[in-house]
Each structure stands twice: as C-alpha cells, then as structure tokens.
Structure 1
Amino acid sequence: MVRPVGKHKSAKFVLMLVFLLGFVLFYNFFWASSPYLAYVRPKTAANVIVPINPETNKSQKGETTKKGNLHERVLAATFADLPAPELKWEKMASAPVPRLDGAAIQIKNLLYVFAGYGTIDYVHSHVDIYNFTDNTWGGRFNMPKEMAHSHLGMVTDGRYIYIVTGQYGPQCRGPTAHTFVLDTETKQWHDMPPLPVPRYAPATQFWRGRLHVMGGSKENRHTPGLEHWSIAVKDGKVLEKEWRPEIPIPRGGPHRACVVVNDCLIVIGGQEGDFMAKPGSPIFKCSRRNEVVYGDVYMLDDDMKWKVLPSMPKPDSHIEFAWAIVNNSIVIAGGTTEKHPETKKMVLNGELFQFNLDTMKWSIIGKLPFRVKTTLVGLWDGYIYFTSGQRDKGPEDPSPKKVIGDMWRTKLKL
C-alpha cells in the first residue's frame, strides 16, 4: 500500500506547530506566575518584598498565590511607607467640622480654615478659626455665596487673604473663575477680576507684589493646565484690570504645594489627572480616572525661567496647604502617592518630609500619627500642627477612609 506523502508531511508540520505553541504557552505561564516578575517596576523605584504566609498561602496584602510559588513577591515601593523616625504627637482640640480638600491660611497665632467637603455630597461654605495660643476654635463666619467650596487657590500677604477659583459644589461639579480678597481684620470680602478661565486647585502664591496662579486642572477636572497668570495687588487692592500671562509651568496639574521662600517661588509635587463627573449624572457623581502622581520640584528664578530642583523622596499630591517653613526648610505633612500596583487603590502618605534650602536636599524627619491627605498645616512656638483631611483605613491599609477634623501637633527640632 502506498502512503500518501502529502498527508504525512502535513501531519508532521501540524505536530511541530502544536509542540511550539505548547512551549510558548508554558514559558509565558512560568514567566507570568513568577513572584519576582509579577510587577515590572521602574528602574528608579525602590522595591519592597511582600512575604507570603505558607500556612494560608496568602500575602500580608491578602492575595492568594498558586501552590508551588515562592513565598514572596517584589513590588514597586513608591506606594509603600518609607522609613522614618517616630515622633511624639499630641492631640489638640478638634475642628468644629471635618474637612477634605479645604484650605488654610495662618496669620500670626490664628489659622483660618476654609470650606472643604464634609462628605462627598455636602460642602462647607464658612470659615473656622483656630487660636494656637489657647487651643480653641471660634469666630466662624460665612463665605460669599459665589465662592468655590473646594480645590481653592489661596495665599496671604499677612493681612489680606486672596482666594482664586476652585470647585463650586459637592461631588465633581464644575469650577468657577470667581476670585475674592478677605480683609482678616474687618472680615469684609471684596471681588477681584475673575481668572481668565476656571481652574481646580491651581498653585497660588504672592511673589514680588503680584498674585501668581499656575497649573491646576482644566474645566473637565482631569486635563492638566499649564497656564500661568499674575496680577498686581497691594494691601488688598488689585492694581490692574486684567490678569497677565506668564511663562507656563513645566508640568501641569492640581494638588501641589506652592511656596515663596528666600525670594524664590517653588512648586512641589502634584498630579496629572483627577476624578471627573460621570457623564449624564444629574448630581455630577464622581467617577475615577487614571492619575499620575509625581514628586517634581520647580523654581522660578530671577530671569522668569523655571529651574528643576531635586525631586521629593516619593511622589506626593494633595499637599497644597500641607506645608510650613521651618528654619530655612520646607516641611510637608502627608499627601497621596502612586496607587497600589495590584489593588489599584489610592495610597496615602504618612511621612513628614523636609526640603533643606541650604543643602537643597530632601529627607524624611518623622511619621505622622496616621497616613492622611489634604492636611491643613500651621506652625507655632516650635510646634508643627495639622488638622483635617482624609485618613487611612488603619496601619495595614493605606487607602483613604474617614474625613476628619482632628488637630495634632509635634515639636520640631530642625
């Protein structure tokens, strides 16, 4: 019997293809299941080993592993707590209401605390005042009806507080371009020229006689803005009719610290992207979008050019009012960092960061009582204080949970 040569060759070819496909699938499975390759980390990132309990076959983060895997895995550590000294924190009088994404300005021994979310469906429209000398809250007064309730740009010249743009209403409602000035001695509000376009949480500072407003998020709440405007002000009065365009900021986005020290304007941290209103939602319900948190630091020099300074020890956002100047250092409390690479949840920071302006170097000088974002910070009699924000779910879970009004302080020795 003569065998059909064509069919024999075809069968061998099919078998070879099946063998090769099986080898590729086996290799890919081995590669993907390896605990050391479960997460591809950036070259510049540190890493952390998450141990696996061999009895439960689960990691401390709760992920179940396949039998036979090594009992550890390596993850990018930008989301992890960084080593820091323990500090002795003292709890002070809590704020009258909890606040998230509020604003705060210190003038002498008084901390003026503005607006913010009480819950995602309720926003505050008043100011509370904390007195550092007697540890009391009081002197509440209302904000203008047209003023934003969160994501504000705000700064003071020592008496007048300048308030710029921000989100109007709860959930993820739209921004307003309205701007105001508050005379803290008379408690009188006055209008200023509106910003050219509305912004969420722009970096805002008073520098060389001008009010500077930079970056933030655009009208859709997600797209980073690069625009930079300024307007001349003095003693609570606006000296120009319109905002003047300035050199754009190198990287846009909201939730960054903006500090003037040693006649330098410095912008720290922040993020690109943010929650947006869900399309068609009648209440503008917040819907999460991808955001990138960064630790970039920029300084505007005498030639009105941006200079890059050393980055923070880890990416940090939600820090616009979380800073204080202490002995020629900038100290920043808490914030948010990169999301967890596996759970994809937002991760809060619990460190106290220091940027030494003499050495231009960053360090971590202590731990907060818990991880927390959008802290409102003040400095008095050698103590650094923080109040409000959203804290973590507990020591083992850095994702956000409760909005708080707590006030804490610790003695700083820098």
Structure 2
Amino acid sequence: MKRITFFLITVFACKSAISHARETTEEWRELALSTHPTARHEATFLSHEGKCYLLGGRRINPVDEFDPKTKTWRSMAKSPIELHHFQAISYDGKIWIVGALTGPYPGEKPVANIYIFDPRENEWSVGPEIPEGRRRGSNGVVLHEGKIYLVCGIRNGHIGGYVSWLDSYDPVRKEWKILPDAPRPRDHFGAALVDGKIIAAGGRTTSQETKQVFDLVIPEADIFDIKAQTWSTAIDPIPTPRAGTMTISLADRAVIAGGESMREKAHDEVEALDPASGKWESWPSLVTGRHGTGLAMVDGMLYTAAGCAVRGGGKEINSTEVLSMPVEKK
C-alpha cells in the first residue's frame, strides 16, 4: 500500500479562519464491514445530513445509505427509472439529480426531468423538466447560493455529442439560464465549487462513433468565476489525465480521485487543485482503483464506495474506503 506525504490547508465558513498546514502520513483504508452496498458503477456517492448515499448506476438499483457512526449500510427505495452518469447534490433536505443518462450502452439518452430523492421519507419524486435543447448527462453539477449549475456533459450517450455548455437553475423561481460556454467540452467528470468558482477538471470527449471512447482525456482544468461570469484555465494540467473521476470540494481544493483511461485497471490516483495558484498536489492513493462513483465527507472523514475496478464496466465492486483528513483548527 502506498504511503504519501501531503499538506492540507482548510478554510472554514469564515474565510479568515485558516488552519495551519500540517504534514500527515494518513492513507486510505478499506473498512471491514458486516454489510455492503449494491455493487454498481456510473453512479453517484455523496454526503447528506451526516450520512452517505449511493444512488443510481447501470440498471435500476436501490439507494444505499451508509451510517458512518454505526459503520453499516442499508438498502432503501429503488430509483423510478434507470439513472446513471450524473453528479447528485444535497439541497433543501433532499438529494437532487440534475442531468443524467438512462438506457443501455452506447446510445444512452439524456433524462428529461430532474429527479429528487427524500431520504427521510425514503421516496423518489419527479422534479421540473430540463429544457429540451439543453439536456445531457455525464455532466458536472454544483450548488452555489441557492442556484444549481450544470457544467458540460454529453447528449448522445457514448456515441458523441459532448458539449461545453454551462447552465444555472433557480429552484425557487424555477428559472433556467444559459451562461458562457466553458473553454472546451468534456464529459465523464465531476465539478467542484471552491470560493465561488466552479472547477471543471478531468473527463474526456467520448466518441464511440470514431472508436475513441476512452482515448480523448482532457488535461486542462477550467475555472468559472460565478461573480465575474468569466472562464479561465489553471496554469498546470492535471498530473494524471483521466475520466470517470470522483470529485469533491474540500476547503480550498478541488479533489479528483480514481477514474479510467486507456489502461486496463481503474486509476487509484488522488490529486487536488488549488484554484488560487493553478497548481496540483498529489494525495494518498486509493486502496482499490475505481471509477463511476463519488466522494463523501462526514466529520473529517473522506469516504468512497462501489464503482468499477477496471476500464469500462467489467468489474463492479462494493467495497468502502475511508481517509482521515488532517485538520488542525486554530
């Protein structure tokens, strides 16, 4: 198992309260559990109200809930339709899926509506319709000041139709808005929000019609300043270009983990971008490389679960890993 030294600076809600940087030799570890989630990939994994949720994936799957306190998984309601290739967010006490694909490879279709899961009631509901001309899946999604932002994505499954679109949705006013396009299209990635900026890093331009499904990975990281309404590109490219990545915002970093590329095994690399400097850091590697899932942060612990251990969809897994984050408060 790899042991890597890294630094973490955490910025809390009050931006003036910055912790001291600290060296750590923490590493990812696989949890020995008595219960496990449904093995799946092209799903999402996120934290919501102190617990972790695994939703969607190929086939119609149940929602799986992980309680970090009891270290147990439980199965909840199945999704009303097959939902995959999406990045869910926690909003207004529920989990929202805004932009997803449905159906079999390679011509998966964009989902027409927002789908919402209520963990307290253990039930799904169909939300507002997504404008027909802007529907896509495999896109990044972030929440900022009550608005939901959709970044890039793909319109025609794995066949093609990747886009550089950026849209916002106001759930209160039920208003969609088209924003400036990103510098380049990308799909099979997750977005992060850091200090009012949307980070689009990792991903590829998937093109089964040219037999380039895994080839065209994107090294550049693009950054959208929501206040200024402008895009820029980070100084340095991501050290390990790959798609199918897991993404989370941690303090002042956008963390990109796992993924897939032309190599057979899924990636175990974890790398973090500091948008302020445009530089990347290497973080501890996963125990098991995986793609098509997500990252969830609860009480200073970073979790991942499920996904696929090889390129494509040939080896779905159900393991759960955790990394203890080194945080020193002032």
TM-score range, shorter chain: 0.7 to 0.9
2:196 is equivalent to residue 263 of structure 1: yes
Equivalent position to 1:247, from 172, 180, 192: 180
- Alpha-carbon distance between aligned partners in 2 of 1:253 and 1:108, rounded to the nearest angstrom: 30
Deviations 1:260-297 (A, max 9, x none): 12222221111011446x9xxxxxxxx76463011321
Paired position in structure 1 for 2:167: 229
The answer to whether 1:155 aligns with 2:73 is no
Q: Could you tell me which of 307, 327, 332 is aligned with 2:256?
A: 332
Contact 1:324 1:378 in 2 (8 A): yes
Q: Distance in 2 between matches of 1:174 and 1:400?
A: 15
Which of 51, 68, 93 is the aligned partner of 1:110?
51
* 2:222 counterpart SS class: strand
Contact 1:179/1:195 (<8 A) preserved: no
Aligned counterpart in structure 2 of residue 136 of structure 1, from 60, 63, 72 = 72
Q: How does 1:95-106 map to 2 (within 5 A)?
A: 95-106=36-47
Q: Which amino acid aligns with 1:204?
A: V
Q: For residues 137-179 of structure 1, what are the alpha-carbon distances to aligned partners after superposition, in whole Å with 9 as ceiling and x for unaligned?
A: 115112223xx42112422225232212322223334312222
Decide whether aligned partners of structure 1 residues 128 and 83 sit closer, same or farther in structure 2, where only a CA change above 3 A counts. closer
Structure 1 pair 132–158 and aligned structure 2 pair: CA distance change class (3 A): farther
**What are the within-5 Å matches in structure 2 for residues 380-395 of structure 1?**
380-392=298-310
CA distance in 1 between counterparts of 2:103 and 2:287 reads 31
Separation in 2, partners of 1:409, 1:306: 33
State the secondary structure of the residue aligned to 2:191. strand
CA gap 1:99/1:159 in 2 versus in 1, 3 angstroms: same
CA displacement at 1:357 relative to structure 2: 5.0
Identity %: 17
Q: State the partner residue of 1:405.
A: 318
CA distance in 2, matches of 1:371, 1:143: 26
* Maintained 8 Å contact 2:258/2:270: yes
Compared CA separation, residues 367 and 225, structure 1 to 2 (3 A) = same
| Paired residues of 2:85 and 2:138 also in contact (CA < 8 A) | yes
SS of the equivalent of 1:324 reads strand
In the other structure, the counterpart of 2:13 is none
Amino acid across the alignment from 1:266: I
Q: Determine if the alignment matches structure 1 residue 355 to structure 2 residue 273.
A: yes
- Residues 209 and 327 (structure 1 numbering): CA distance in 2 closer, same or farther, change over 3 Å? closer
How many Å separate the matches in 2 of 1:167 and 1:256?
A: 14
The Cα RMSD (Å) is 2.8
Match in the other structure for 2:290: 372
One-letter code aligned to 1:403: E
Count of aligned pairs: 299
Q: Which of 287, 290, 299 matches 2:223? A: 299
Per-residue CA distance 1:59-95 (angstroms, 9 max, x = gap): xxxxxxxxxxxxxxxxxxxxxxx99558351324363
Q: Given the superposition, is the C-alpha separation of residues 259 and 289 from structure 1 closer, same or farther in structure 2, using an over 3 Å criterion?
A: closer
- In structure 2, what is the Cα distance between the partners aligned to 1:260 and 1:158? 18
Distance 1:400 1:172, change over 3 A: closer
Choose 1 or 2 for highest CA Rg. 1
1:314 paired residue number: 240
Question: Are 1:91 and 2:31 an aligned pair?
Answer: yes
Q: Write out aligned runs for 1:5-154 (5 A).
A: 84=4, 87=27, 89-93=29-33, 95-117=36-58, 123-145=59-81, 148-154=82-88
Contact kept, 8 Å, 1:332 with 1:354, in 2: the verdict is: yes
Secondary structure at the aligned position of 1:214 is classed as: strand
Q: Which residue in the other structure is 2:19 paired with?
A: none
Secondary structure of the residue aligned to 2:38 is coil
Match of 1:128, SS state, is strand
Amino acid at match of 1:316: R
Alpha carbons of 1:151 and 1:274: their partners in 2 closer, same or farther (altered >3 Å)?
farther
Runs of 4+ in 1 over 6 A off after TM superposition: none
CA offset digits 1:201-226 (Å, max 9, x no partner): 11112223322212111225323112
Give the partner amino acid of 2:139.
Answer: P
Is the 2:191–2:198 contact (alpha carbons within 8 Å) kept by the matching residues of 1?
Answer: yes
